Amino acid sequence: MLNPESPMPLYHQLADILMEKIRKGNYRPGDRIPSEHQLAAAYTIGRPTVRQAIELLIRKRLLIRKRGSGTYVQPPQKEVDLLSLAGTLSSFQKTGLKTTTEILKKTILTEIKKTDIENPFAGQKAFFFERLTCVENNPVLIEALYLHPGLFKGFNEVELEGKSLSQIVFERYYMRPENGKQNFRIAFLSNKRAKVLKVESDTPILEIKRFLHFPNAPNAIFSELYCRTDQFVFSQIIGGVTDA
């Protein structure tokens, strides 16, 4: 039970109790936990305290609230090695889940603004397209991709729907990236992109800037990835690239 004399806040004590019940299997993945009213009555505390405990566990991704239904134990999240040079689509496909892509902006040859200083093509022309990846019909990732126009000549004629970019690059241009670099940050989406990912514009999103280097062509592919992190854990395997 809760100890009001403890220096630990009551909501934190309740969160620890609920976490222990989840760990022991009293509440299994997909189970609905008792309502705020039921928990308040069971532990003789106010509903605001219960709400704080539940919010803490939601932030820890142990619980998920479903509007109009209740609060449930979050099923274990699948890990996606999104950071592999094998490519984003193939990384999702390795999870065994149904993955689909949608082209949001078709490939065009365009001039990149000089003010976009992180983009290696700033002030130059590059092939550009944007796509959405959905898993089990849920949007999880937006990619904005830029390709070197000389190295990937004719790329604007390539059919991209449902295809892995790394596979296209290998099969059509006989190339694979030698290595790359990735920068990470927390970002917020424009209203338009937030609507596509079905999140609020003030929802924190994982943003990745990816630079892929090819033989004698550094930064030949640059991409900006915007990832929802409420459905997948994005990981990276350390120890060498075997599937680039």
Residues 119 and 227 in one domain: yes
Q: Per-residue pLDDT for 188 more than 70?
A: yes
Residues 83 and 187 in one domain: yes
Residues 179 and 216 in one domain: yes
Q: How many domains does the chain have?
A: 2
Answer yes or no: is 239 within a domain: no
Residues 178 and 115 in one domain: yes
Residues 111 and 127 in one domain: yes
Answer yes or no: is 167 within a domain: yes
The predicted model scores a pTM of 0.64
The pLDDT value given to residue 81? 52
Give ∠ CA 99-105-106 in degrees, rounded to 5: 95
Residues 103 and 185 in one domain: yes
Percent of the chain with pLDDT over 70: 85
The CATH code of the domain that includes 146 is 3.40.1410.10
The CATH code of the domain that includes 36 is 1.10.10.10
Least confident window among 38-47, 87-96, 212-221, 233-242: 233-242
Range of the domain at 19: 10-73
The pLDDT value given to residue 90? 57
* Domain stops at, among 33, 57, 73: 73
The pLDDT value given to residue 165? 87
Residues 114 and 91 in one domain: yes
Residues 38 and 144 in one domain: no
Residues 22 and 47 in one domain: yes
Answer yes or no: is 25 within a domain: yes
Answer yes or no: is 3 within a domain: no
Answer yes or no: is 204 within a domain: yes
